[in-house]
Structures are given as structure tokens and as C-alpha cells.
Amino acid sequence: MLWAAARATTIPWWEAEMEKMKEEDLEAWKWIAYQRAACGTLKHPVGPRIFKIIEKNKMGAS
């Protein structure tokens, strides 16, 4: 179920997959919901690990 939600390419599709997850495993849904809320605290539009990779590639390209 996690991967079905992760592969969703539209918001309605993602919401439907999350609803299925909530019905089947509430604890798993709570974890995904917590992780999504935690993303709001990121300084950049991507996670810190990906940001470092992007910055390293930018330095190598210039």
C-alpha cells in the first residue's frame, strides 16, 4: 500500500490510496501522515540529502 501511494501521480489518486491504507492499517497511515507533515519543516523543496547532491553537481558543472 505504501508503494501504491508513492507511485500516485495525481492528488486524487494519492488520496484514494491513502484512504485504502487508513482502512487497512491505521498505524501505517498515521506514520505516512506524520512524515508528510514533517516535510513542511524542510528548508528546501527537496530533502537535505538530495539538496546536497544537487549542490555538489552544480559546483561540478560550473
Q: What distance in Å separates the CA atoms of residue 55 and residue 61, rounded to the nearest whole number?
A: 10
Q: Is the pTM of this model over 0.75?
A: no
**Residue 22: per-residue pLDDT:** 92
Predicted confidence (pLDDT) per residue in 9-60, tens digit = 998 998 999 999 999 999 988 888 887 777 777 788 888 899 999 999 998 8
Domain extent, residue 13, equals: 2-61
**Total domains, the chain:** 1
7 contacts 26 by C-beta, under 8 angstroms: no
Residue 14: which residues within 8 A CB-CB, separation 6 or more? 5, 8
Q: State the cell numbers at 30.
A: 498515521
Q: How far, in Å, CA of 60 to CA of 1, rounded?
A: 39
